[in-house]
Amino acid sequence: MNDNNKRVVVTGIGAITPLGKTVRETWEAMKAGRNGIAPITLFDTTDYKARLGAEVKDFRALDYMEKSETLRTDRYTQFALIAAQQAVEESGIAGNIVPERFGVYMGVGIGGIGTFETEHAKLMEKGPRRVSSLFVPMMIPNMAAGMIAIKYDCRGPAMPAVTACASGSNAIGEAMRLIRHGYADAVITGGAEAAICPSAVAGFVNMHALSTAEDANAASLPFDSRRAGFVIGEGAVSLVLEEFEHAKARGAKIYGEVCGYGSTCDAYHITAPHPEARGGAQAMMEAMREAGYTENDAVYVNAHGTGTPMNDKLETMAIKKALGEEGARRAYVSSTKSMTGHMLGAAGAIEALASILALNEGVIPPTINLDEPDPECDLNYVPNRAIKQDLDLALSNSLGFGGHNACLAFRKVKA
């Protein structure tokens, strides 16, 4: 890494997920191998082949914000605001930064699709005059970033990352670069999604992407020979990234350092990964190079691990190409999507949370329900139970439709 580059650390984390409404609840559930997948309750799934999802349980927006705010925000934006508030409060950054040096990069894969469905139904059933004047601002995928910026007076760069399932990781990686190269002192970042709704589920089912299992413990099965699709999830995770000296000067709590980022495109197919895993492997190698990887590092890889037949096999190949055969076999790999489902634009953010806390506590969350390993997926996927292990480096992979690949690298902070 160039010595002129600034160091970037994590000083706050917030979460509202299928496993809990705080970071602590989410992380404790992950370590315990708790499954956040259950029958979908947000709409009637009687006519749908896929009936399971990973919802944020018992969510009431009014528990977190004024009624007027709930009426002008989509569910995905509500999740983003809640996670951001937790992260900002924990970091103590508010009031301790120049507004022009404070940014927001928030990932989202789809945006306000629930709002789109509601307002389109009004248009078809009641005519154009009944469509809400707030339809467009509630729907568009930049609104989470915009509303977070408004709330915390972030006058630096504020924008979304919209790269399908890589969105959360791309947001965090680009936020890191913003700070590293001197354009901001702190950035609120992460990812949010709320797409458990009829049109999204129907679309994913009809492209044969979703698991149609009826048993929650046989639905999201990363690296298992029975895997047959992902389970759709929702929620948000937010991180406050901060320039190291800025954080140190104000005595901020520091979780760890974002020390590497790779971003590539397969340039191959709109949904299928490249058959030689070239883009995923290259993203990992770029992140590892920036992070100063050596063969002596004890490595944890939080895999994209969707539980789809092609992804898991090719991601295993990518890990082997990036780390080498021996390095890949020494590494610890797990997919927390086995518990959270696939949170789409928020996936990279919750997996960054898992990577950072795994480094912090020396505990690797498991891949649950991995009972029948696929011979083509032959690494140590930490099946079914968390393990204690001191780590030097954590890598978090995200691979999205359109061929987008992102890898984040994290280390403990050393003076």
d(CA 350, CA 336): 9
DSSP β-ladder status, 256-265 and 186-193: unpaired
* Six-digit token string for 83: 């996670």
Residues counted in the chain: 415
Phi, psi of 289 (to 5 degrees): -65, -45
Give CA–CA dist 254/282, Å, rounded. Answer: 29
Distance of CA 123 to the CA centre of its chain: 33
- The catalytic site residues sit at 165, 304, 342
